[in-house]
Amino acid sequence: ENSLQKTSALYCPDSLDTFIPPNTLNLSSFTKLMKKLQEIHPETSREKIIDALLQVRTNNKGILSGLSINSIVKRTSLIL
């Protein structure tokens, strides 16, 4: 029996110590999301994209789950 539970979190060293809490997005969703946003906004830094994503999360009652990737991309693009 494993009584210790690992909590995973996404830490992006390139993003000025931005920390995205567990259960915000899983890694593959985050990777897809970042790839789409960087394709749409090639002039925007990774840090600014992550800041915009965090704002989308804040505007959505602190969660991103339940939103489609396309919806998150649209909302983030409006901020950027």
Burial of 36 (0-12, 13-18, 19+ CB in 10 A): middle
Q: Within a domain: residue 18?
A: no
Residue 60 lies in a domain: yes
Examine residue 58 and state whether it is found in any structural domain, yes or no.
yes
**Looking at the domain assignment, is residue 3 inside a domain?**
no
Instruction: Give per-residue pLDDT as tens, 14-30.
Output: 444 445 555 555 668 88
Would you call 75 helix, strand, or coil by DSSP? helix
Number of domains in the chain: 1
Whether 8 is covered by a domain: the verdict is no
What is the helix (H) or strand (E) element at residue 50, kind and residue range?
helix 46-59
pLDDT digits (tens, 9 = 90+) for 46-80: 999 999 999 999 999 998 888 888 899 999 999 99
Its pTM stands at 0.65
- 10 in a structural domain: no
Residue 44 falls inside a structural domain = yes
Domain around 51: 27-78
